[in-house]
Amino acid sequence: MADNICIVDFGSQTTHLIGRRLRDMGIRVDIVDPEKAMELIRKGKPKGIILSGGPASVYEKGAPTVNKKIYSLNIPILGICYGWQLTAYLLNGKVLKGYREYGPTNLEIESSEPLFHGVDSYSVVWMSHGDSVMELPAGFVQLARTDNIRYAAAANNDRKIYGIQFHPEVEHTKFGLEVLKNFVERICNLKVKKKNINTYSLIRKIRKEVGCSKVVCAVSGGVDSTVAATLIAKAIGSDLYPVYVESGLMRPGTKERVIRLFEKQLKVRPIIVEAKKIFLKALKGKTDPEEKRKVIGGLYVKLFEKEAKKLKGVKYLAQGTIYSDVIESKGSKNASKIKSHHNVGGLPKNMDLKLLEPLRYFYKDEVRKIGRQLKLLDGIINEQVFPGPGYAIRIIGEVTKERLQQIYKADSIVIEELKKAGVYNNVYMSFPIMTGAKSTAVKGDGRVFMEVIALRIIESKDVMTTVWSRLPYDLMQKLSSRIVNEVPFVSRVVYDITTKPPATMEWE
């Protein structure tokens, strides 16, 4: 029997995050499709099986499933969310269709051994589900409940089959890592050891793939593209050509910052492509977020390919794509597509250049760790995330020169006030959204009907889950007051307090 865990992927946005958590424990992980699971598990004989979550309902026609005999292989099984619902359904329990629950909830543990060993009796867990188990299969006992779900966790200890409705893999489930560790150590009898990211291995892999070819690398000044470019530079040296496209959709001053950064860090001056007018023209009349993303992604590729043709021997376009980008752009067979990322689903299929994405299977916090190993400056590593499509997806509706000027000003106010209050580095993202909604207000003793700006200020580590930041009321008041007074044609400011899930990081 192999010393590994097999994860059956039913399409959850966090399936690979489960794998990442186990790999961090030094456990080898294989992720397989449900259709091939039985064959591969019988052949590989893993020490444990995890059935992931997924967007389907067990009652849907064509819903992903597994061979029922998987529960008779005498291999420990942990079903998470949909994986637990499917387990109960296949073993003749009852699942209630349509009860939806997203975000944090309180878990009360009824029985701790062995899955909840060392876990507090009451703790916060993260939910993201539509159905729930209402009646346990024969031989199962209740382990935990929430205010809304009776069987938030259950077990058949004799058969070593466990089910949990919450997601232990996400950072906002307080004792999630302990639950996974208990399954690995106490139930599957595997030894946990710390895993480190081997940066030199990544560099060797890039060198082997690229060979003698040259690479143009899309850079934005953000941590992802900077880490990707640094890895590639260490692999192929001067055969890397960083390219920054001045689209007019990024924060003012970004171009100058990118030039300083690459001249200091990599001793190379990036190629600058001036394209503000091109992007504004292409986005004219575009209001659908998917269409905007694809227009932006397609334009970027055309401009990169144009620059590549000026250079001899360029065969690759490198990007700082990370795994959360892939997931939201439908990263597996049974996953739901959330949105196209400009550097994943937004790319045209008929590209002349090959894609090089050295960070494709890493999460944001892992990318920051790689950046530290590469000795990048803290200011780069800890920089707040800014989306590749830039302000285009923070302006709901059509992107115009006037609305860009509005969001430039609102964004600068948010950054300035958060830094002044000493909280800027404590939040993951902080930004305004031009909502397109309008509201009535009184300015100068007269009625006005102007746009509403929303503020989204959130905390996260791996991007897969987020909570809204509890800013001091005085700071929130200052932000609101300055924005309605200093940003033209804005009547109201609202604060977005939606967690992820169900919300995504960006509004579009």
- Establish whether 169 is a catalytic residue: yes
Give the active site residue among 81, 129, 342, 383. 81
221 and 254 Cβ atoms separated by less than 8 Å: yes
- Rounded Cα distance between 54 and 33, Å, is 12
387's tokens:
């989306």
Active site (annotated) includes residue 263: no
Between CA 426 and CA 433 the distance in angstroms is 20
- For the question of residue 81 being annotated catalytic, the response is yes
- CA dist., res. 221 & res. 340, Å (int): 21
* Cβ pair 320, 356 in contact under 8 A: no
Which string of DSSP letters, residue by residue, matches 309-334?
Answer: HHSTTEEEEE----HHHHHHTT-STT
Strand partners, 323: none
Active-site position among 16, 167, 172, 341: 167
CA distance 327 to 140: 33
**Pairing verdict, β 214-218 and 122-129:** unpaired
The 3-state DSSP class for residue 361 equals coil
Three-state SS for 78-115 is EEECHHHHHHHHHCCCEEECCCCEEEEEEEEECCCCCC
From 16, 169, 188, 366, active-site residue: 169
Q: How many CB atoms lie within 10 A of CB 211?
A: 9
CB 41 within 8 A of CB 49: yes
Kindly list the catalytic residues. Answer: 81, 167, 169
